[in-house]
Structure 1
Amino acid sequence: MTTPLEFRAAPPAGDGRILIVGAGLAGLFLALRLAPHPCTIISPAPLGEAASSAWAQGGLAAALHPEDSPEQHAADTIAAGAGLVDPVIARLIAEQGPSRVRDLIELGVPFDRTPDGQLALSLEAAHSQPRVARVAGDLAGKAIMGALTAAVRAASHIQLIEHAKAVGLLQDDNGRIAGAILRDKHDRHSTFTANETVLCTGGSGGLFRVTTNPPQSRGDALAMAYDAGAVIADPEFVQFHPTAMDVGLDPSPLATEALRGEGAILTHADGTAFMANYHDKAELAPRDEVARAIHSEIAAGRPVYLDTRPSIGAHIQDHFPTVFSACMAAGIDPRDSLIPVAPAMHYHMGGILSDTWGKSSLNGLSVCGECASTGAHGANRLASNSLLEAVVFAARIADRLKQETLKSPGESVGYVPTELPDPALQTLRSSMAEHCGVVRNAKGLETLLSTIDRLEDQYGSARALTAARLIASAALQRTESRGGHFRADFKDTSETAQRTFVIPGEPLPQTSLEAIS
């Protein structure tokens, strides 16, 4: 087993140095909102090329329809979250959502419009009103990232370091986070010290064999923060998108939920629809319900397909160009053929515990986007709330940091474990998909944890193994089914809804937030 690399660094030069790790929607919007305060963005690739935000086909949910309201949006968010959504956070993101959409419009995002010039809002599963703002049907993520990338490159207050990845956090003797250890494309390491570090690194989908995420999204922020002593919340709650295209690609192309919002039907090969057998809302049931239904059908030997022909037909080429292109690249013409689909790991609801202003439990460390756990998503994220949460919290973090006097950390040290070689990583991904997927049980989770133990004995505490252990251990500990976490051996939902808080150095508890304050 290899020894982690150790790095030491002097205190940051100058006051108020802000480091943003990650260049997705959360990181870029945060950097722009910080103006005129200087900041630095670390991006592992050229802007827009490695962020899952650019892949978002849905859109951004906000109460902008005349018949909608933040109260209704918050209520839908709470209902979808299966008892674990923080109602204060649900109301906060719902109330601030419309303003953030207007911010994006000012930055040049070309949201779809109706003939009379109003925003064209779509209905998605578990929403009570049409409230999803889109771009060209399914190009919202790409369009938003394109507009933000142009604005960031033009902003004089933003320093951009591309082709660099944060592989460890620096921490002083008082436990304050003091920046990050970076690795460039030539595998050279360096340190970047900062008065405040903000992790905006995305999710954990790359830990699973079947995912819609970029493969490099492997829970690095989760593992780095945990190793530094941060509290992790709800890591067991993983959302599986019901309709990834089952065409043998890694990552799996996504057949956006908006297709079902427009009337597409889930069927067997012979055209028989089945969702009404599982839920009274059929195709518009919450994501976890649809994912389990599809999983059950496939497990029973009945492959599942999405039929867009009766409802969308030839318009799919114009209304959903991303889906159309992915289908055609896979040799499927959705205008006259069924689209094969299967569930895939899509979004990590858990993450690094955050307060209402984006602060983690560690001084000097803020978190935003999918790597954070704000309490907005609970056990089952409401569709298109992820982009909303990212921009709302990015704005709040920026507003807080501009008002604070950022303290300077002392001399700091950080550690970088080795990475898993690819064969070991693929072993982990296969075991995560098999034993920690749509349906879980104790035997499978124990097998997965044994695999993680074995890989750790061979390769040390690689970040991917730490993140996977957090997810699997919490899934084993939660002996109930709730939202995206379904236990075949504990199918009932407990009467008391409790979040999971993982405190480094202590046994995994299910407890109240007050107990860790």
Structure 2
Amino acid sequence: MQRYLMNFDTRRMENRQEECLVIGSGVAGLTAACQLARHGHHVLLVVRDTLQDSNTSKAQGGIAASLGKDDNPQLHLADTLVAGAGLSNESVSRMVVTEGLADIRWLAANGAEFDCYADGTLSLGREGCHSRNRIVHSHGDATGAEVARALNEMVAREKNIRTMEGCYVVDLLVHQGRCYGATALWHGKKICLRARHTVLATGGLGRLFQHTTNPDGATGSGMAMAARAGAELADMEFVQFHPTALALAGCPNFLISEAVRGAGAYLLNSEGKRFMPECHPMAELAPRDVVARCIFREMTKAEVSHIWLDARHIENVAEKFPMIAATCREYGVDIAKDLIPIAPAAHYMMGGVHTDIWGRTNIEALYACGEVACTGLQGANRLASNSLLEGLVFGRRVATIIGKTRLPQAEAGLFWREEKLAEESHAGMMADRKASQQILSRYLGIVREAGEMAVGEEKLRELAARYEGCSAASAAELDLRAGLICGDLIFRGAQRRQESRGAHYRSDYPDKDESLRQHFGDRRKVYDEAERFGDENIAAAAVLGMA
């Protein structure tokens, strides 16, 4: 695995320095930045696109929390463990479902508006694998947008937060097992971002697949840069496919929230027959991996590209789910009168950068939270609406542990460089990215098999070999290179796990194997990478902001 993706020399780049560097503007990154700033820390918040672009802003269903009178954290914990298929860490899960209640109240106290009944009590929805109505939602089906709005307004009010939009973070800077910041492309210019603490909150990798509910920025860039820097990644074989994404030719795979099924919608096969009651006791509200596989089976059996979601019998369905109704209407589907064409699409990565219960990685001063992280909560299959909850909890916990961590002063005069990469242009780059998406979709989809995966793995490595030893020339190429790295890690994890568990299903090993009830990790060995100015140059470098 190539260590750096661009030629650079931090001595010759614009250097920006801040106490804390937070990368990403989803719920985890925004929460971490806000919490750090409110405790007196100075934060540089950088995002590849705009502060409004994230998976969080697209989230529909809501935030899972045991706030109902008939609910409690223990019941929420039990549902989380069932969905996680034996790989959710019980102590981490208990902490999240317990502490998350206060984090939701904090969010509401700071301006987030959640749907309530006339008496002021929260309107709580139901989603797959939940035993109670516990989904806190906003404006029916626009919870993520409301959470992002509230957090962005909090960020704007904090004097201790500086923001940089259009800043693509490329590589982490590590020396003797400690992270000192990162290099980045900012509006096409290479810059160095130095920090005492660096927080990865870069989101997932759904864009590695042909069909996904994720926005354009979900390319696995954070996972890939962490892997290149020597961070441990875990559970990369567990990619969740959401059962119900809009499936119309030429249209984006817009998510049809699980909350629609929670309100009573049915899944119908190509013959118009309901099939989920025969597949699982919870029928349409079974765990996501179960529902996605059952839909895939029906599609394969009938040789069709989609099946149907029937919400016509739900009273006032368009009023309950206004964003879904409006989007479907744009594409000629009236959810109150028409069947909705749906198919599974890549949605969420359970694996990622391995952390402890405080979001710390194996690299000192490097933290991870949100979908980029593998905290132990999600296990082999994420429980619906636990993602926003995890982002809130771990964003806060990362900020807390940073406030308690005392790092020694950085060694004076450190610099990093990579000057040996070939500066080559790749005319077929976009075709290669499309090819990589086809490979992952074909060989790492809902159903996997050893021989098929071996073919796909070889094809992906042939693609990656074209770029090995080369310096990336654009954000688009960086996205491709990140995808090639993450795809390889998914292949490796999927081949190692010779069983079926949660979102990882193998037709050649269709059953669980309790001897494999463990986590598989990957870690690249990284040696000391920084160099040091000669003593006579340190003072001059400090004047330039480089030391």
TM-score category (smaller protein): over 0.9
Q: Aligned-pair distance for 1:191?
A: 0.7
Change (3 A) 1:196 1:111: same
The one of 428, 439, 463 aligned to 1:431: 439
**Equivalences for residues 126-165 of structure 1 within 5 A:** 126-165=129-168
Q: Aligned-pair distance for 1:414?
A: 6.0
Change (3 A) 1:249 1:87: farther
Change (3 A) 1:446 1:415: farther
**Given the two structures, how large is their TM-score scaled by the length of structure 1?**
0.93
Is 1:452 the counterpart of 2:471 in the alignment?
no
Contact 1:214 1:251 in 2 (8 A): no
Which runs of 5 or more residues in structure 2 are unaligned?
470-480, 527-547
- Hey, what does 1:334 align to over in structure 2? 335
The one of 118, 123, 136 aligned to 1:120: 123
Q: Aligned-pair distance for 1:316?
A: 2.6
Letter in 2 for 1:441: E
Contact 1:168 1:414 in 2 (8 A): no
Change (3 A) 1:14 1:407: farther
CA shift digits 1:14-40 (9 cap, x unpaired): 997100011111111111111221101
- Hey, what does 2:272 align to over in structure 1? 271
Which runs of 5 or more residues in structure 1 are unaligned?
507-517
Letter in 1 for 2:150: A
The one of 164, 168, 171 aligned to 2:171: 168
Structure 1 stretch displaced more, 161-170 or 402-411: 402-411
**Corresponding residue SS for 1:444:** helix
CA shift digits 1:104-136 (9 cap, x unpaired): 101211100012101111111111111110001
Contact 1:195 1:407 in 2 (8 A): no
**Equivalences for residues 369-384 of structure 1 within 5 A:** 369-384=370-385
- Hey, what does 1:509 align to over in structure 2? none
How many residues are paired up? 501
CA shift digits 1:431-467 (9 cap, x unpaired): 1111101111112211221111111121227222111
Contact 2:18 2:44 in 1 (8 A): no
CA shift digits 1:265-320 (9 cap, x unpaired): 000345311111211211011100000000001111254100000124xx232211
Letter in 1 for 2:47: S
- Hey, what does 2:416 align to over in structure 1? 413
**Corresponding residue SS for 1:5:** coil
Partner Cα separation in structure 1 for residue 157 and residue 345 of structure 2: 37
Is 1:255 the counterpart of 2:259 in the alignment?
no
Change (3 A) 1:489 1:105: same
- Hey, what does 2:22 align to over in structure 1? 20
**Corresponding residue SS for 2:416:** strand
**Corresponding residue SS for 2:96:** helix
Partner Cα separation in structure 1 for residue 230 and residue 82 of structure 2: 32
Q: Aligned-pair distance for 1:329?
A: 1.4
- Hey, what does 1:42 align to over in structure 2? 46
Structure 1 stretch displaced more, 265-274 or 366-375: 265-274
- Hey, what does 1:514 align to over in structure 2? none
The one of 515, 520, 530 aligned to 1:500: 520
CA shift digits 1:316-362 (9 cap, x unpaired): 32211121122111111111110000000000000000001000111
CA shift digits 1:182-239 (9 cap, x unpaired): 1123x22111111111000000101111100012211111111111111111000011
Contact 1:176 1:363 in 2 (8 A): yes
Identity %: 37
Contact 1:215 1:251 in 2 (8 A): no
Contact 2:499 2:509 in 1 (8 A): yes
Partner Cα separation in structure 2 for residue 473 and residue 412 of structure 1: 34
CA shift digits 1:243-270 (9 cap, x unpaired): 0110135741000000000000000345
Partner Cα separation in structure 1 for residue 207 and residue 99 of structure 2: 31
Change (3 A) 1:33 1:277: same
Contact 1:16 1:406 in 2 (8 A): no
Partner Cα separation in structure 1 for residue 251 and residue 197 of structure 2: 35
Give the alignment's Cα RMSD to 1 decimal. Answer: 2.2
Is 1:475 the counterpart of 2:479 in the alignment?
no
Change (3 A) 1:311 1:405: same
